[in-house]
Structure formats: structure tokens, C-alpha cells
Amino acid sequence: MKKTIFRFLALVAILAGINWLASLLFFRLDLTDDKRYSISDATKQLLENLDKDVQVNVYLAGDFPPGFKRLENATREMLDEFKTYSNGKLSFQFSDPSSATNDEARKKQYQNLVERGLTPTNLHATDPDGKRTEKIIFPGAIVQADTLAVPVQLLKGNKSSSPDEQLNQSVEGLEFELSSAIRLLANPERKKVGLVVSHTQIAPSRLSDLIATIQQQYDVFLDMNNPSSYDGLDALLILKPDSAFSEDEKFKIDQYVVGGGHAMFFVDGAHVDSVNLEGTYAQPLDLNLGDLFFKWGARLNTNLVKDMNCAQILLNVGTMGDKPEIKPMPWRFFPVLNNLGNHPVTRNINAVYTRFLSSLDTVRADGIHKTPLIMTSPYTQLLNTPALVGYNEARKQPEPAEYNNGVKIAGLLLEGSFASLYANRILPGDPRHANFKASGTPGKVIIFADGDIIVNDVDYKRSAPLPLGYDRITGMTFGNKDLVMHALDYLTDDQGLITARNKQVSIRQLDKIQIQENKKFWQSLNLLLPLALIALFGGIRHYLRIRKFG
């Protein structure tokens, strides 16, 4: 008896000791192959350093098909992980906006969520009885701290992917989307972004969506009244210039990048005037940046890329009675870029809409690492400028043999320690010599070979800008805004949250044909096997008791 009591007390002591050690040593193990339940070190650091309470209200709840249920469960698991590392600063709740007691209350709830920045989705589903149902859902969340709130879209991804793949891409992006919103609320220090707009004739209304989106996260400076340098900026964006930069302006950009600055260029290799009824000519565009790009390891070509994968334009194809017949026709001068590099900037974003795209080449530059971000399809044709851009192109059936120029780079990331274009050219007597840097600390440069990537369309009836990337013909919103904001995040993200976009969650789909053919076998196995195992265990136990006690 004493021996039994001693063993019991020893067991209690061991368990108490283990519990005490567990309170001192916190660790979690993720045994999944793709580490789907792990979060990045940058996210952990963000959560551990929270100095204010953060509330996450998720509106993805209710009776969903399996794919959306998986997204709901993944969101819940991710927020559970966030809560663990937040030292009690983060809390969350799930609610169903469709659960209101009457239609009026439900519509009011929908309107409230739309006004707060969430986008509804029409969910079409088929129940087991074959009946199709339609339901409005809000696959999003509102992240709030104090009086500030940030909407987060949880359903994202490349719209050309299958529904299952798009939902999986949304699962992969959960950590980045949620942590970015928390960072925006928790980080009082805003990065500074300079926008060079003095060289463009684009109307301010057509840059308004980009500028408004950047201002949500950064302090924006427009040309900064032509400063002597761009020191103090965390990033510099050059937006669709159409006139040449002076040598003094180019020198300032050179020294900013050599000094470890981060710059992003949206530039055209060719200039296309406003298109008339017949068309126009594209002319080479000299921005006086070619030698600077070449020094960095890139060459912007003065050509136009025609791509079989393209957007549409409305074209008068004839008359019907006494009225013109307007139809959408493929316009191969407007490539739609869905060939995306495997990089945090472009991973899982939607295709990018371009207009009169040029191509980029890489050239040797010591110490510079080059990463293509967005590319054309393999079915391209290059037109060297000057070149005719005529609407008859849209009427013609393309000859595939003519589109044989292969994949072309449209966006290029350059990283490393940049050498100055002006090395050995600044003499001691030059006033700029005192602060001149021939080489410097590592920096990043991104070049996009189309200035229109950042230009939004305008609804002239309402005199209101349309969202960046919105195509009024198809009603689709392309990934232009995500591309720019992820690229800006990559340039300015010292914490490394952008690396969370590298997460990959494998889809392990069942073979639907095998399931259908062997459905009854697997149902019977799942039903009978547990009963057989219990019966076997009971029989063995009964046999052993008979042998032991006779």
C-alpha cells in the first residue's frame, strides 16, 4: 500500500515539474510537411511587441462548401497562432453577417461591411440533393486597434486559377494579409515615399487610386519641390515619365540608389500618341535613363510587345441597320501578363494589365542580382519603333507563326551594391565632389517596362476614378495594385513580413474517379473495420482471461 502511494505521489510530482517547466519554456512544434501552422519570425516579433490591444472581427462564418470551410478553419488556426504570440494583446471573433433575423437587418449589415471596405462574394453551391443555392458572403475581416480599423480581404489569388487553387492561394496568403493590417495599426512610424510626377503629362485623376492607396500606409511626397537629393526617403517611385531627365536629375537618382536607396521605375520604351480612328505611330522614347539602367544591369528596349494573351478594346466592326456595331476585340498591344516570377512580390497575385508594353533585357553588372518579376507569354511579336499601331490589328486573325519571339521580361528586380554611373567623371573641382559616392551600401531597384501599370481609368459620367487595374470592358480587376504595393513592401520592409508570402500549402486532392468507382467499398470499410477491430480486441482479451483464470 505504501509503495502504491509513493508511486502516485512521485507521478504527481513529475507532472507538476513538467507543468512548471512548460510555463517557463514556451515552444510549439509544427509536424506538417509544408509547415502550414508555422508563422515567420517577423510576424512573431510584430506580435510579441504589440503595445495596444488588437481585435480581429472575421465575417467568414456560416454554412459553407468544403473549400470555403477550409479557408474559415485556416483563418481560425492562423489567428489562434497569432494570439499565442501576442501576450494577450490580440483577440478575435467570427460572425456570420447573413444571420440577421430579417432582410432589412441583413441588408443593413451588408451595407455597413461594404462601407468599411469589405467586398462581398456571391457563393453558388449545390447541396447533396442537387439543389443549387446562392448566398452573399464576406470573406474578409476588420482588424481594429483603438479607433482605427483596417479591412482585410481573405479571398485573394490569381483569378485564372481553378476555384480550389484560388482558395489554396488565399490560405497561403493569410499570414501576410493579417500581419500587414496589424503592422499598419501597431507601427506609429510611417515610411516616406517620394513620387516623381514632374516628368509625366498624365492627369492627376488617373494616378489618384495609386496615390490614395500608398497614403494609407506611407507618408507621400510629390517631387519634394525638386530637392538637392532624395536622402531621407525610404523609397522613390518614378511614375510614367514622358520627357527626358536632365543630367542633374539623373545624378540625384544615381546617388540615391548608390547610397542604399530603393527605387521603382514605371517607364515606357516607346511613346504612343492618343489613338485616332485609324491608329497612330509609336516612336522611340528617350528618357535619358538608358545608361543608368545599363550600369545597373538592365536595358529598356524601344520596342512594342504584341502578345497573344491580351486584353480587349471596343471596336466598330460594322453596322446593324443604321447603328454601328460595337464589339470587344482582342488588342494584342495590351498584353495581360500572367507569367509571374516565384517571388514574394508576385506570388499568387492576379494577372497584370498593361498597355503598349516594351521589353527588358538583362546585361552584366558586377555585384547585382537580377530577378524577373513579370513576363509575357511565349507567344509574342516584337515591333521595333517607329511602328504603326493600327486598329486593323484587332480585326485580323493572328498567325501563330508570327508570334515566335518567346517570353519577354516586363518587370525586373535588381539587388546589390550599385556602382555610380558617374565614377571617374566627377572632378575634384566639381561642387558635387564633396558628397559624391562611387559605390555604396546594398539597395534595390525595380524596373517595369510599362508606365501604364500604375494608371487607373476614370468613370467620366461620375467624374470618379476607377480602381487601379479595373477593366471596364470585362468588369475584372487585375493585379496591378497588388503588384505595386507588394513591390513597395519589398523595398521598404525592414522587418521581413513580405517573406510570409513565400508560404506554400500543398493541395492533397483525392482521386474523384477512384472515389466514385469504389465508394461503397470505402463506406463499408469505414463502417465495419472499427467494429471488427473492437471485436478482435474483445476476443483476445476474453481468451487471455480464460487462460489466466481457467
Burial 355-368 (b: 16+ CB within 10 A, else e): bbbbbbeeeebeeb
Sheet-wide strand order for 54-58: 90-94, 54-58, 140-145, 148-153
Q: What is the pTM of this model?
A: 0.83
Q: How far is CA 14 from CA 9, 21, 503, in A?
A: 9, 11, 39
How far apart are the C-alpha atoms of 488 and 216, rounded to whole Å?
A: 13
pLDDT for 14 equals 81
Query: Partners of 140 in the beta sheet?
Result: 153
Contact 269, 285 (CB under 8 A): yes
pLDDT for 58 equals 93
User: What contacts 307, CB < 8 A, 6 or more positions away?
Assistant: 332, 335, 336, 357, 376, 377, 379, 380, 403
Distance linking the first and last C-alpha atoms of the chain: 28
How far apart are the C-alpha atoms of 125 and 133, rounded to whole Å?
A: 5
Contact 172, 155 (CB under 8 A): no
SS (H, E, C) 251-305: HHHHHHHHCCCEEEEECCCEEECCCCCCEEEEEECCCCCHHHHHHHCEEECCEEE
pLDDT for 484 equals 96
Torsion sign (Cα): 397, 400, 401, 404: positive
State the CB neighbour count (10 A cutoff) for residue 340.
22
Contact 297, 400 (CB under 8 A): no
pLDDT for 103 equals 82
Query: Partners of 289 in the beta sheet?
Result: none
How far apart are the C-alpha atoms of 380 and 310, rounded to whole Å?
A: 10
How far apart are the C-alpha atoms of 165 and 157, rounded to whole Å?
A: 8
SS (H, E, C) 357-373: CCCEEECCCCCEEEEEE
Pairing between β-strand 368-375 and β-strand 409-416 as defined by DSSP bridges: antiparallel
Query: Partners of 13 in the beta sheet?
Result: none
State the CB neighbour count (10 A cutoff) for residue 345.
25
How far apart are the C-alpha atoms of 298 and 312, rounded to whole Å?
A: 30
Contact 282, 383 (CB under 8 A): yes
Compute and round to an integer the Cα radius of gyration of the chain: 29
State the CB neighbour count (10 A cutoff) for residue 193.
23
Beta strands (DSSP E) in 72-155 are 90-94, 121-126, 132-137, 140-145, 148-153
pLDDT in single tens digits along all 550 residues of the chain: 666 777 767 777 787 777 766 555 555 555 455 555 678 888 888 899 898 899 999 998 877 787 888 888 999 999 999 999 998 899 999 998 888 778 888 888 889 988 988 888 887 665 555 556 677 888 899 999 988 899 999 888 888 778 888 888 888 889 989 998 998 888 768 899 999 998 999 999 999 999 999 998 899 998 755 666 788 899 999 999 999 999 999 999 999 999 999 999 999 999 987 555 566 888 999 999 999 999 999 999 999 999 999 999 887 766 666 677 788 889 999 999 999 998 999 998 999 999 999 999 999 999 999 999 999 999 999 999 998 888 777 777 888 888 999 999 999 999 999 999 998 887 777 777 778 898 888 999 999 999 999 999 998 888 889 999 999 999 999 999 999 999 999 999 877 788 877 766 655 555 556 666 677 777 777 888 888 888 888 888 777 777 766 5
- C-alpha 85: how far from chain center: 25
How far apart are the C-alpha atoms of 393 and 364, rounded to whole Å?
A: 36
